[in-house]
Amino acid sequence: MPELPEAETIARGLEQVVPGRSIRTVEVIRPDVIEGPQPAFSAAVRSCRIRKVGRRGKNLVLTLESPSPSLVRLRLVVNLGMSGRLLLGREGHAAPVVTHPAVRFHLDDDSVLVYHDVRRFGRLAAISEEAYGEWSRRLGPEPLSPAFDPASLMDSLQRSRSPIRSWLLDQAKVAGIGNIYANEALWHAGIHPRSPASDIRGESVVRLHGAIRRVLTDAIDAGGTTLKDYRTADGWRGSYGGSLRVYGREGLPCPECDTPIERGVLSGRSTFFCPRCQPPPGG
């Protein structure tokens, strides 16, 4: 669910308020969302000071500093899965959106950071800087960073025959794109979801690069897309849903040419496209 724009919105919201605060206690309500042994997780993060809240791909990354033995740095990586939320509230004044708390971080200023997850597909991991580096290296480039440019995108696309929609969902290729923004970017670029990655060349690569950036930045500006579960750290909904051109719009007219939007299934997941603006590969 939450993709890059949603994770970015949450990270920005938390970055404004939580750095400098310490974790007083950790309450693990649903141990299955913890990566690895839960006692080790709790012991690792307890008493840590939060230094920074960032993002890598769709994951939230909190940089923590342990007071003992000697200001050891570790990273709290939060993958929100399909229905995860990170909500900041006041102790004893849980927001009404908190119906399925999985982990509560009680901070030293009477606030609580709640990891909330109905389906519990999300995961929380407390890892060393070294392990974080290894994990991060396995992910593709950040699509909004200078490292992601048309030339390197073209290079990467040439090495795969995967349908482009599947290619975009592969976090090792580009980090942070999920099913909503993959479908949206392909519509903006005029590329069919089943087009083999290596068939995308020249001007199409430039259009795809631009479409990915445009869709992601516009979605960040809108605070993300709330279809159902996603909320900002303050519990607000994202408003990019009104800007979706094809996702979830089967049968509705294409905003560009009025042809009804079609829905297909690719690798078991829905894909939406305009059959006229996004001509199928090979015909």
Question: Among all residues, which ones are annotated catalytic?
Answer: 2-3, 58, 269
Among 146, 251, 268, 282, binds DNA (CB under 7 A): 268
Longest Cα separation, the chain: 64
- Kindly state the DSSP code that residue 245 receives in the 8-state scheme: S
Stretch that binds DNA, among 46-54, 60-68, 164-172, 212-220 (CB under 7 A): 164-172
What is the x/- site pattern for DNA, positions 180-219, by CB under 7 A? Answer: x---------------------------------------
Q: Tell me: cis bond preceding 143? Omega within 30 of 0 counts.
A: no
Coil, strand or helix: which one is 161? coil
Residue type at 254? C
CB 103 within 8 A of CB 34: yes
Residue 49 or 231: which CB sits closer to DNA?
A: 231
What single DSSP character describes residue 174? S
Stretch that binds DNA, among 88-96, 140-148, 208-216, 222-230 (CB under 7 A): 222-230
Is residue 215 within 8 A of residue 6, CB to CB? The reply is no
Reduce the DSSP state of residue 75 to 3 states and report it. Answer: strand
Pairing of strands 49-56, 23-28: unpaired
Interface with DNA, residue 8, by CB under 7 A: no
162 in contact with DNA (CB under 7 A): yes
Record the tokens describing residue 177, joined without a space: 């794109």
The residue range among 17-25, 46-54, 203-211, 261-269 that interacts with DNA, by the rule CB under 7 A, is 261-269
- Residue at 144: amino acid letter: L
- Smallest gap from Cβ 36 to DNA, in A, equals 13
Provide the binding-site residues for DNA, judged by CB under 7 A. Answer: 1-3, 6, 32, 57-59, 79, 81-82, 100, 118-121, 159-163, 166-167, 169, 171, 178-180, 224-230, 238, 266-270
